[in-house]
Amino acid sequence: MSNQVQDAYIVAATRLPIGKSGRGYFKNTRPDEMLVKVMQAVLAQAPGLDPAAIEDAIVGCSFPEGEQGMNIARVASVLAGLGPTIGGVTINRYCASGITAVQMAADRIRVGEADVMFAGGVESMSMIPMGGNKPSLSPLIFEKDENIGIAYGMGLTAEKVAAQWKISREAQDAFSVESHRRAVAAMAAGHFDAEMTPFDVVERTPNLADGTVNTKTRTVKLDEGARPDTSLEGLAKLKPVFAAKGSVTAGNSSQTSDGSGGLLIVSEAALKRYNLTPLARFVSFAVRGVPPEIMGIGPIAAIPVALKAAGITAADLDWIELNEAFAAQSLAVLNDLDSKGIELDRAKVNPNGGAIALGHPLGATGAIRAASVIHGLRRTGGKYGMVTMCVGAGQGAAGIFERL
């Protein structure tokens, strides 16, 4: 970007395995504990850095309340041992919260206001349900037809996208099968190893006989949601869950999940001062609004803007993380962009599977997928990568990175 004064470099990027909400790895693990682990892991990847040099921790979270309330960014930075002088702010752009945290941290550096920043995301959908503990919609939403989409459930917006962009049930299910196939293959090949920080899950069960508590620890190293037995035949048996005569099912939707990811972003001066090795450069970011009732098509509006700001074309992208909120909206985005001459190579879109297989811990996803892009580019030798997603209430976001 022509108006920046310096570049922002990513020197560390990692994430935890993604667990199934309500019944998975992290169902009893507090989100602040997940975020603490990510912060500590990021610091471990930059051994020459004085933690006190971090000016601020910016953390995305879609529903920052309950166990992930009280400004979880600041709470976790203290608990992680970063030191009392480091700031912390929790930000919310729903599914794009994590990538927005990266953009905000990078921009602080690019305009010369900071030299070292932490950016990340965290979400426990086990502890905080979709919509939060006490959803409360403004009555003003219902006074104008064009605003009612703000109140729609995400599944209903996917149904509307499927209808408007003519995405068939068969196409959605085939897309979902491929997501699981790629995820399972990537796990078997060890492609997630570089981006993943294992987590020790502590399970506590009461012993009713003697009143003690039995403690068991297990280390989790892989995402929990990918299913090797996913098939077209199996998905075809599932009933629509958002509209009686619809096409969106649990099998062609993203999984509700728990997870966290984080990045350490620095200036060139900090690179030299602390003898750090850059993994990637933050190149550009864009966000655009779309009608709330078809929020899934948000990337269609954001991607061209991010590409233009980066000075590249879609053909230059070597790795694309297109968040699979729903197969319907993912396919609509890809097909619509094709019609506009912005063709995203399908082999480079979610090469390790997407949220349908791996899970979508809302506000954490942008940071998690940023780690995936950076390490994916480094493993394959690609140059440019993009993280993009649709956003609840009608937005799309896209961020572009360059491998160094």
> What SS3 string covers 53-95?
HCCEEEEECCCCCHHHCCCHHHHHHHHCCCCCCCEEEEECECE
- Separation CA 55–CA 331 (nearest Å): 40
Residue pair 403/377 in contact (Cβ under 8 Å)? The answer is yes
Q: What pLDDT, on a 0 to 100 scale, did the predictor assign at position 233?
A: 98
- Separation CA 211–CA 345 (nearest Å): 59
SS3 content of the chain, % helix, strand, coil (to 5): 40, 25, 35
Based on C-alpha coordinates, what's the Rg of the chain? 20
- Separation CA 325–CA 127 (nearest Å): 20
* Ramachandran angles phi, psi of 343, nearest 5°: -90, 120
Taking CA atoms, 180 is separated from 77, 256, 355, in Å, by: 35, 15, 9
Residues of the chain with pLDDT under 50: 1
Q: What is the DSSP letter of 39?
A: H
Full-model pTM: 0.96
Q: Which of 401, 387, 192, 108 is nearest to 280 (CA)?
A: 401
Which residues, in sequence order, are CB contacts of 65 under 8 Å at separation 6+?
128, 132, 133
- Separation CA 222–CA 272 (nearest Å): 34
Tokens 């993943």 belong to: 196
- Separation CA 271–CA 119 (nearest Å): 17
Q: What pLDDT, on a 0 to 100 scale, did the predictor assign at position 4?
A: 82
Q: How far apart are the first and last CA of the chain?
A: 17
Q: What pLDDT, on a 0 to 100 scale, did the predictor assign at position 275?
A: 97
CA dihedral sign of residues 141, 144, 150, 155? positive
Tokens 């997603």 belong to: 389
- Separation CA 163–CA 168 (nearest Å): 8
H-helix or E-strand containing 101? Answer: helix 97-110
Q: Which of 321, 10, 332 is nearest to 158 (CA)?
A: 332
Residue 175 CA, chain-centre distance (Å), reads: 19
Catalytic residues: 95, 360, 390
- Separation CA 119–CA 79 (nearest Å): 16
Q: What pLDDT, on a 0 to 100 scale, did the predictor assign at position 1?
A: 46
Q: What pLDDT, on a 0 to 100 scale, did the predictor assign at position 2?
A: 56
Amino acid at 243: A
- Separation CA 404–CA 391 (nearest Å): 29
Residue pair 310/40 in contact (Cβ under 8 Å)? The answer is no
Residue 404 CA, chain-centre distance (Å), reads: 22
